[in-house]
């Protein structure tokens, strides 16, 4: 495992914040001129994913606020590492931004042996946008309607498989298998949409999917939702119980988050301008119904709060991956 995984702490992340600043004349000039051309918002997952859907709403609103087009650039693959490396190497001028999740910044350091970027050193946190609740879904022909029934079915059918299109799906499946004492076979996909396609077709019986990507298929009866991965019921899906309510699974709590980063050393005034606008979008009463329709719980944080959160999540997900018994690949 890379050394930064064990060395990075909340204090280290906060101490790194001054390195993102530039001299006052440079900062003032950057703030006055920004933005003067279109902005690229890189997304590490395919079109049709939950993060993509949130990014497209955010891009439109941010573009309107800044008076420039914000173009979504989908770069799926390698569990988000391709997109993360692209942004890490981009010019730190505020014209390349990264809307991502815990996949690239919390889980990948433990899931991948060689990571082409450092989630702390190579990025400037801009704004946390909210949470993407995940739910456990199955093919509707599977004869189960609760998590308890699913576990019983899996025990009777050793080697039952689950699909995943991101790290939350990977870790959730492995954690369920460990806690329930069942043998689950992981079937990885490049992104969420093709994974859902195979669950709907019955090629793979189950998966963990973010509400934003999966809710339409659940409502259409193409997939059956059994529970959410969070410790508490989601306000967006109050009818679904937490997985942790199932006997034997107490303490199951996996939350996926969403936020925006810029390359490290992006001028602090640019970061602050972007944070103000993104925080307004997250809190907007006009935009809120569109986010909620996707199953996205929007809220904002300052860059400093987001930096501390990311550092803490890196520690948390390192433990989640280790406890789930997942070996880095």
Q: Within this chain, do residues 232 and 265 fall inside the same structural domain, yes or no?
A: no
Q: Are residues 103 and 19 in the same domain?
A: yes
User: pLDDT category, 111, cuts 50, 70, 90?
Assistant: very high
**Does residue 299 belong to any structural domain of this protein?**
yes
Query: Looking at the structure, do residues 158 and 119 belong to the same domain, yes or no?
Result: no
Domain with 226 in it: what CATH number?
3.40.190.10
**Per-residue pLDDT at 292 exceeds 60:** yes
Banded pLDDT at 246 (limits 50, 70, 90): very high
Residues 18, 268 contacting (CB under 8 angstroms): no
pLDDT in tens, 275-290: 999 999 999 999 999 9
Q: Residue 190 domain-assigned?
A: yes
**Residue pLDDT, tens place only, 114-159:** 999 999 999 999 999 998 889 999 999 999 999 999 999 999 999 8
Does 141 lie in the same domain as 118?
Answer: no
Quick one: what percent of the chain has pLDDT higher than 90?
74
Kindly tell me the burial class for residue 60, based on how many C-beta atoms sit within 10 Å of its own C-beta (0-12, 13-18, 19 or more): middle
Residue-wise pLDDT tens digits, 189-212: 988 999 999 999 999 999 999 888
Length of the chain: 329
Q: Is residue 282 included in any domain, yes or no?
A: yes
In tens, the pLDDT along 295-316 reads: 888 998 999 999 999 999 999 9
Contact 263, 96 (CB under 8 A): yes
pTM over 0.85: no
CA-based radius of gyration for the chain: 20
123 and 204 belong to one structural domain: no
Last residue of a domain, one of 182, 216, 245: 245
Q: Which of 213, 245, 277 is the last residue of a domain?
A: 245
Same domain, 114 and 234: no
For every residue of 224-243, DSSP letters joined together read: EEEEESSSS--TT-TTSPBG
- What's the angle, vertex CA 314, arms to CA 313 and CA 316, rounded to 5? 60
Domain that holds residue 220: 134-245
Residue range 46-99, pLDDT digits in tens: 998 889 999 999 999 999 999 999 999 999 989 899 999 999 999 999 999 999
pLDDT attached to residue 285: 93
The pairing of beta strand 123-132 with beta strand 256-263: antiparallel
> Which of 220, 245, 270 lies at the terminal end of a domain, its last residue?
245
The tally of domains found in the chain comes to 2
The domain that holds 61 is classified in CATH as 3.40.190.150
- CA–CA gap between residue 307 and residue 15 (Å, rounded): 10
Spatial contact of 225 and 200, defined as CB atoms under 8 Å apart: no
CA gap 215, 227 in Å, rounded: 12
Pair 277, 307 in one domain: yes
Tell me if 268 is assigned to some domain.
Answer: yes
- pLDDT higher than 90, residue 243: yes
């Amino acid at each position: 495992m890379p050394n930064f995984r064990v060395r990075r702490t909340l204090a280290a992340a906060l101490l790194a914040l001054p390195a993102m600043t530039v001299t006052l004349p440079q900062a003032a000039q950057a703030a006055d001129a920004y933005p003067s051309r279109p902005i690229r918002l890189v997304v590490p997952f395919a079109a049709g994913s939950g993060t993509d859907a949130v990014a497209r709403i955010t891009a439109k609103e941010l573009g309107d606020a800044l008076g420039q087009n914000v173009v979504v650039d989908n770069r799926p693959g390698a569990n988000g590492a391709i997109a993360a490396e692209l942004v890490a190497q981009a010019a730190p001028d505020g014209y390349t931004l990264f809307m991502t999740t815990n996949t690239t910044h919390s889980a990948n350091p433990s899931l991948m042996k060689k990571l082409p970027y450092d989630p702390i050193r190579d990025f400037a946190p801009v704004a946390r946008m909210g949470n993407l609740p995940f739910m456990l879904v199955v093919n509707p022909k599977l004869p189960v309607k609760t998590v308890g029934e699913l576990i019983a079915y899996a025990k009777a059918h050793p080697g039952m498989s689950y699909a995943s299109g991101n790290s939350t799906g990977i870790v959730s499946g492995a954690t369920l298998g460990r806690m329930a004492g069942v043998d689950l076979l992981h079937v990885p996909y490049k992104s969420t949409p093709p994974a859902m396609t195979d669950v709907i077709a019955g090629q793979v019986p189950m998966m963990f999917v973010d509400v934003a990507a999966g809710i339409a298929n659940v409502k259409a009866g193409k997939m059956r939702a059994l529970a959410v991965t969070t410790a508490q019921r989601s306000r967006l899906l109050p009818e679904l119980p937490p997985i942790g309510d199932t006997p034997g699974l107490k303490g199951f709590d996996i939350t996926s988050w969403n936020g925006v980063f810029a390359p490290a050393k992006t001028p602090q005034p640019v970061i602050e301008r972007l944070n103000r606008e993104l925080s307004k979008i997250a809190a907007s009463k006009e935009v809120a119904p569109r986010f909620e329709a996707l199953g996205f719980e929007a809220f904002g944080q300052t860059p400093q709060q987001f930096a501390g959160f990311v550092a803490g999540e890196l520690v948390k997900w390192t433990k989640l991956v280790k406890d789930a018994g997942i070996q880095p690949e």
